[in-house]
Amino acid sequence: MTAPGLTDDELKRYHAAIVRQLFDFDDLCRANGIEYMLSFGTLLGAVRHKGLIPWDDDVDVMMMEEEFEKLLKVELPDFLEIDRTRITKLNDKRFRYARAPRLDDWKPVFIDIFVMKETGSMAEPLTRLLQWVNDRHKLPKGHPMRIFKSLVKYPLKPVRNLLRGWADRQEDKTRIRYTHHLYQDISFPKEKFLPVRRELDFCGRKMPGPCVPESYLRIQYGPDFMTPLPPAKRRFRVHRIDF
């Protein structure tokens, strides 16, 4: 695997740094009784590669709302800070990176933290509706159904808001969903999400994930999640490092 702008040695150093960052976060959570899970591409990497996806450039974790509240109360080392500007991030100021085209815009290497909450059974048809809309990208450009799904995406937003509010008010908390607005319509069956299990092999360490990680990955990425992306679709966005 090569990365634009980085030498092979720099790529190895970068990957070693984000694995170290994840393991430091793992130590911090274990020391403070905080439960979390690998998520998104980091969970996919654990299941498919037993470590980082070779072209991945960051780390993703998720935790329930009550666990995130515990994290906010922890006294962090000086080099760590929680940034809640957009997607919640744990910035690590020991390591910096830059992306093209703004190669002088240095930013701290980070862990994305996705906060999760319990919701009701109506969240399942909401997730299916979102998947139906997003599946348009699998169709050729100009395909009538792709055009139709693109046209109804935004008019369906009030329906999605209604279903989400309904699900959150339900007493049967059988689903787990993201709280971030970009992903809040994606939910997972609670019985395949919790309890957290520390059974994932990741770069030589057992790491935590959903109790049935394949269920999460199938909903998040589709049934072919074990098939790597073709080279043309692989993105590595880090172009400079400073550490």
| 154-200 confidence digits (pLDDT tens) | 888 899 999 999 999 999 999 999 999 999 999 999 999 999 999 99
Confirm if 193 and 35 have CB atoms less than 8 A apart.
no
Beta pairing partners, 177: 117, 187
Per-residue CA distances from 220 to 104, 122, 128, 134 (Å): 34, 18, 11, 11
- Domain range summary for the chain, segments of one domain joined by +: 8-119+176-242, 122-169
One-letter amino acid of 229: L
pLDDT per position as a tens digit, 222-238:
999 999 999 888 888 88
- Provide the pLDDT for residue 154: 87
Contacts of 226 (CB under 8 A, 6+ apart): 47, 48
Flag whether pLDDT at 207 surpasses 80: yes
pLDDT, mean of residues 97-113: 89
Whole-model pTM: value is: 0.91
Classify domain 8-119+176-242 at the CATH topology level.
Answer: Beta Polymerase; domain 2 (3.30.460)
pLDDT over threshold 90, residue 6: no
Buried b (16+ CB within 10 A) or exposed e, 204-233: eeebbbbbbbeebbbbbeeeebeeeeeeee
d(CA 233, CA 82): 31
Please write the tens of the pLDDT for every residue from 77-94: 999 999 998 899 999 999
The dihedral sign for the CA sequence 17, 1, 141, 148: negative
Neighbours of 125 (CB within 10 A): 12
pLDDT digits (tens, 9 = 90+) for 30-64: 999 999 999 999 999 999 999 999 999 999 999 99
The pLDDT assigned to 242 comes to 86
- Classify burial at 160, counting beta carbons within 10 Å of its beta carbon; exposed 0-12, middle 13-18, buried 19 or more: middle
> Which of 90, 114, 226 is closest to 176 using CA atoms?
114
When the pLDDT of each residue in the chain is averaged and rounded to a whole number, the result is 93
Confidence of residue 7 (pLDDT cuts 50, 70, 90): confident
Instruction: Determine the pLDDT at residue 3.
Output: 66
Q: Has residue 1 got a pLDDT over 60? A: no
Q: For position 232, what pLDDT does the model report?
A: 86
Report the distance separating Cα 55 and Cα 2, nearest Å: 8
Give the per-residue pLDDT at 103. Answer: 82
Rounded to whole angstroms, the Cα distance separating 37 from 87 reads 16
